[in-house]
């Protein structure tokens, strides 16, 4: 079938497909960051974790020929980065935001350092499920080729949303995030809870990185991340620390990110770079619209330095 035959209908279709493809790393990073922030710390280093996770996943997948082992390795590497952040931030006067910036630099540096030999070889990809097989229009098929990680991410956001409300672990994380003193009065150690929460957050960010290098764009380069790890932090604020909100916001961001390529595919090339900046502009507008100088954000964890 001729590629131009569906004409302008290709734009919303490409945006839908792009939203599903592009949003997956956002989903994992923002869910990870939501867990960390709910416990009262902010980890800006997830950007570095994402890049290092992408490299680890790709390298392990090349060496073992298994994308799933790569995914596991990325999660483990992310866990280490998260635990390191959680550990170092327990010391007094150590600023969690600044440590995050340092880990961003360190994680990317380490990934480029070890990733050099893996720029050339080809790794096996994570599998996708062709939900579009019923249609014989190639664009529909392409748009509905959904990676398993997207489905796992969707399920995970539902589970986390439920767990924060209904489980003991969810309650513990929320208490620690809202008031260290209340947590101590309950006999909880806030530093331990935050250590675990930051570790889990790092592991999820590592999985997000694995998706980047093992599915879309599906190769390891030093430019693999375009700030997804940082935008996810803004996205969590926009989502009001609600896992379901994170999922919806990630889809929105994915769609915004797919706007430029989608328009280009139907021949709109004017302002390509500005469309490319659409997710950043959207994030900024949302942050301006949802912040207020007079009241604190609804649903914000009380111990979070970013909302104080």
Residues at the interface with another protein (CB under 8 A):
44, 88, 91-95, 97-99, 101-103, 105-113, 116, 226-227, 230-231, 233-234, 237, 271-274, 276-277, 280-281, 283-284, 287-288, 291-293, 306
Distances (CA, A) of 49 to 179, 197, 250, 254, 303: 27, 15, 18, 20, 23
Q: Residue 277, Cβ neighbours under 10 Å: how many?
A: 13
CB-based burial of residue 266 (10 Å sphere; 0-12 exposed, 13-18 middle, 19+ buried)? middle
Q: What is the C-alpha separation between 215 and 72, in angstroms, rounded?
A: 15
Nearer to another protein, 68 or 276 (CB): 276
Between 93 and 168, name the residue whose CB sits nearer to another protein: 93
Tokens of 35: 């867990």
CB nearer another protein, residue 9 or residue 272: 272
Is residue 66 a contact partner of residue 126, using CB atoms and an 8 Å limit? no
Structure tokens, 226 = 């375009």
Residue 93: CB partners within 8 Å, gap ≥ 6? none
Q: In angstroms, how far is CA 154 from the centroid of its own chain? A: 12
Give the CA diameter of the chain: 68
Nearer to another protein among residue 132 and residue 254 (C-beta) = 254
- Least distance (Å) from another protein to the CB of residue 166? 30
Nearer to another protein, 45 or 70 (CB): 45
| CA dist list (Å): 270 to 10, 45, 132, 266, 282 | 18, 35, 31, 12, 19
Question: What are all long-range contacts of 230-233, with beta carbons under 8 Å and residues at least 24 apart?
Answer: 230/44, 230/46, 230/47, 230/104, 231/26, 231/279, 231/280, 231/283, 232/26, 232/29, 232/30, 232/32, 232/33, 232/46, 232/205, 232/208, 233/33, 233/42, 233/44, 233/46
Q: Which residue lies nearer to another protein by CB, 183 or 237?
A: 237
Residue (10 or 48) nearer to another protein, CB:
48
Smaller CB separation from another protein, 132 or 255: 255
Residue matched to tokens 């079938």: 1
CB of 101 to another protein, least distance (A): 6
Least Å from the CB of residue 53 to another protein = 16
Quote the least distance from Cβ 151 to another protein, whole Å. Answer: 29
Smallest distance from another protein to CB 148, Å: 30
Reference 208, options 8, 5, 44, 33; nearest CA is: 33
| Residues 6 or more apart in contact with residue 171 via CB below 8 angstroms | none
Q: How far is the CB of 282 from another protein (least distance, A)?
A: 10
Q: Using the minimum distance from each CB to another protein, give the nearer residue, 182 or 284.
A: 284
> Please, what is the minimum distance in Å from the beta carbon of residue 244 to another protein?
22
The minimum distance between CB 32 and another protein, in angstroms, equals 16
Q: How far is the CB of 107 from another protein (least distance, A)?
A: 8
């Amino acid at each position: 079938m001729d590629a131009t035959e569906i004409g302008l209908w290709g734009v919303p279709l490409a945006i839908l497909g792009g939203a599903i493809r592009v949003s997956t790393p956002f989903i994992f990073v923002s869910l990870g960051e939501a867990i960390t922030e709910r416990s009262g710390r902010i980890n800006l280093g997830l950007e570095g974790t994402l890049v290092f996770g992408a490299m680890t996943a790709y390298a392990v997948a090349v060496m073992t020929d298994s994308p799933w082992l790569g995914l596991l390795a990325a999660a483990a590497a992310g866990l280490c980065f998260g635990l390191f952040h959680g550990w170092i931030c327990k010391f007094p006067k150590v600023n969690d935001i600044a440590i995050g910036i340092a880990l961003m630099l360190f994680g990317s540096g380490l990934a480029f350092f070890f990733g050099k030999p893996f720029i050339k070889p080809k790794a096996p990809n994570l599998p996708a499920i062709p939900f579009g097989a019923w249609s014989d229009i190639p664009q529909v098929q392409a748009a509905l080729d959904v990676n398993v990680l997207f489905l796992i991410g969707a399920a995970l956001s539902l589970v986390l949303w439920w767990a924060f409300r209904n489980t003991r672990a969810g309650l513990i994380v929320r208490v620690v995030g809202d008031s260290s003193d209340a947590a101590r009065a309950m006999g909880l150690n806030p530093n331990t809870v935050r250590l675990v929460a930051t570790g889990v957050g790092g592991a999820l960010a590592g999985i997000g990185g694995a998706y980047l290098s093992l599915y879309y764009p599906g190769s390891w380069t030093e430019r693999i991340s375009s700030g997804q790890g940082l935008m996810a932090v803004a996205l969590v604020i926009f989502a009001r620390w609600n896992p379901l909100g994170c999922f919806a916001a990630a889809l929105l961001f994915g769609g915004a990110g797919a706007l430029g390529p989608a328009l280009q595919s139907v021949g709109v090339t004017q302002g390509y770079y500005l469309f490319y900046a659409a997710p950043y502009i959207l994030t900024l507008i949302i942050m301006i619209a949802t912040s207020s100088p007079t009241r604190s954000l609804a649903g914000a964890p009380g111990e979070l330095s970013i909302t104080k």
